[in-house]
A and B are shown apart, each in its own frame.
Chain A
Amino acid sequence: MKPGLFSLFNRVGAWVLLLFLVTPALIAIPVSLTPKRFLSMPEGELSLRHFQKLFTSPEWLSSFFQSGVIAVSTAALATVLGTLCAIGLWRVSSKYSELVRAFLLLPLIIPQIISAMAFYRLWIPLGLLDSYAGLILAHTILAAPMVLITVSASLATFDPKLEQASKNLGASNWTTLRRVILPSIKPGVFAGALFAFILSWDEIVVTLFISKFTIFTLPRRMWNGIRENTDPTVAAAAVVLIALTLVAFVVSAIISRRNEKRATS
């Protein structure tokens, strides 16, 4: 079917919309290069002082570090729990397991403000407020459904006969899991881990409720900067985050391309 006038018009519109999605974030670049002490567009002169401040200020560095620790731990924990659970649900696949699957997706769908309330409510008596453990646990519960989804998608294309073959050849459940199932669902596991990392790295609503002074993650520091609306260091941080996003995106694209190649060859 040849594209009609409407179709061409729509395509142009779609490109405009897609550019609208991506370009606004780029304004952080000029703002981060302003030589002034307050948020402004640079006029003529450019300066890197705000990047210097970002990478020498103990507050920002500790936020980078804390966010990194929390996101890596969350990704590890969510990936292990989510992957095991996905494999279990796939093995059981009954009426009940589908019910459990729907239930486990809830943290992803229930509005974050309600999740924040829930964690806040429970973390007070448990003494988990404002601690690494509290944030990692909360983020893991929010991120595990992501892993569940990506791993389940990988499992959907995995041939159950392979598992049967491995068992018939005398492998134990554990060996089958480690040597047969896990290698074939690796792309799903990696994708899940990446999503879990990003979710935690970027999480703000729950973090606002359950952290205070000791734990001050990067999104939380950015949130404060945005609310104060004066210090251009926020812009520098935004530029660093955009750069990290692009790097992560390229890496994941390369990984998924490699997997596709391996799948077709």
Chain B
Amino acid sequence: MQALRKHIHPGWLIIAPLLAMVALLYLGPILNILWLSITDPTPGLGNYAKLGESDALVRILWTTLRICLITTVFSVVMGYSIAYAMIHCHERQKNYMLTLLLVSFWISILVRTFAWLMLLGRRGLVNVTLEDIGLIAEPIAFMRNELGVLIGMVHYMIPYAVLPLLVSMQAMDKRVLDASRNLGATGRQTFWRIYLPLTLPGIVASTLLVFIFSLGFYVTPAVLGGGKVLMVAEYISVQLLVTLQWGTAAMLAALMLFGVLAMLWIMSRFMKLSTVFGGAAR
């Protein structure tokens, strides 16, 4: 016992409860799912072979990837604009901006989805207003299609995109910009050749973060897609809760999991992961 104590730091004693809980109740079943993907219903790579056979599966994967990519591009560009404005304005204005950002971060996902449902429907506020002022004759279909899903997802992801960007812009040495201007570069040159490259780690972190969160997004696509836009997360839930096919669902989950872990690995090369998530805490 004494010898053991010498080798093991006493700190591990208070780490152990959470570690054991996560390992047993979380990692365990996740490994079990990975196992299922190659054993259910029959052992082998049958589930993965379905990717080559079933057009429906490929279409779902493709829809998911496409929507996630578009969401990520829009969220990061818009997030960059917000973060840039926040860093380069007076303290007071910055605080107001931060308040709006955090409030939107905190509003329940269900409230937001409900709001979009009211706004974007055929007789929703947006269509009614546009018709009243005579901009459109027919209601625009915002829902039950990819447009609606994209609006809802970008709206949800923008705050997540802003936070890593804020961290990286804040950490930058502003004197570099003055130096660039003093050496005769125009504002635009300074931005494209100095500012943007220096914030690249933040951009990468924010891109991967938003992409990862989009991949498994369930609520908004399910409601705003209205069954017309089928993404992986919703497909998994149908497989499990309706048709009770664990094999296919497990295979899709395994693909998603490996994708996410690969992206995390890339991300960890650019930024300390805890800074990204620590940023969200403030």
Chain A residues at the B interface, C-beta cutoff of 8 Å: 1, 3-4, 6-7, 10-11, 13-15, 17-22, 24-28, 31, 39, 41, 81-82, 84-85, 87-92, 94, 97, 100-122, 137, 140-141, 144-146, 148-150, 152-153, 173, 191, 195, 198, 202, 204-205, 208-209, 219, 222-223, 225-227, 229, 234-235, 238, 241-242, 245-246, 248-249, 253
9-residue interface stretch from B18-26, B45-53, B55-63, B133-141: B18-26
CA distance A242 to B111 in the complex (A): 8
B102's nearest neighbour on chain A, judged by CB, is: A249
A85 touches B18 (CB 8 A): yes
B29, B108, B112, B128: the one within 8 Å of A122 (CB): B29
A25 touches B26 (CB 8 A): no
Asked if B73 is an interface residue, CB under 8 A from chain A, the answer is no
In the complex, per-residue mask of B162-177: 1 if CB is within 8 Å of any chain A CB, else 0: 0000000000000001
CA distance A103 to B20 in the complex (A): 12
In the complex, per-residue mask of B218-237: 1 if CB is within 8 Å of any chain A CB, else 0: 11000100000000110011
B78 touches A17 (CB 8 A): yes
In the complex, chain B residues whose CB is within 8 Å of the CB of A223: 110, 219
Interface of A is mostly: helix
A110, A148, A246: the one within 8 Å of B257 (CB): A110
CA distance A26 to B278 in the complex (A): 29
A198 touches B111 (CB 8 A): no
CA distance A195 to B116 in the complex (A): 25
A113 touches B14 (CB 8 A): no
Asked if B76 is an interface residue, CB under 8 A from chain A, the answer is no
Asked if B1 is an interface residue, CB under 8 A from chain A, the answer is no
B32's nearest neighbour on chain A, judged by CB, is: A121
A90, A97, A141, A226: the one within 8 Å of B22 (CB): A141
CA distance A215 to B264 in the complex (A): 35
CA distance A100 to B12 in the complex (A): 10
In the complex, chain A residues whose CB is within 8 Å of the CB of B12: 88, 92
Interface size class, chain B: 35 or more
B11, B13, B104, B249: the one within 8 Å of A22 (CB): B104
A13 touches B111 (CB 8 A): no
B82's nearest neighbour on chain A, judged by CB, is: A14
Asked if B253 is an interface residue, CB under 8 A from chain A, the answer is yes
CA distance A132 to B118 in the complex (A): 33
CA distance A57 to B25 in the complex (A): 36
B14, B89, B106, B256: the one within 8 Å of A84 (CB): B14
CA distance A101 to B33 in the complex (A): 23
A249 touches B18 (CB 8 A): no
B107 touches A242 (CB 8 A): yes
B218 touches A24 (CB 8 A): no
Shortest CB–CB separation between residue B132 and chain A, in angstroms? 12
A107 touches B277 (CB 8 A): no
B85 touches A21 (CB 8 A): no
Between A and B, 19 residue pairs with Cβ closer than 8 Å are A15-B97, A17-B78, A17-B81, A21-B155, A26-B115, A84-B14, A89-B11, A109-B212, A112-B218, A113-B233, A114-B253, A117-B236, A121-B33, A150-B281, A226-B223, A238-B110, A238-B115, A241-B108, A245-B106
A119 touches B114 (CB 8 A): no
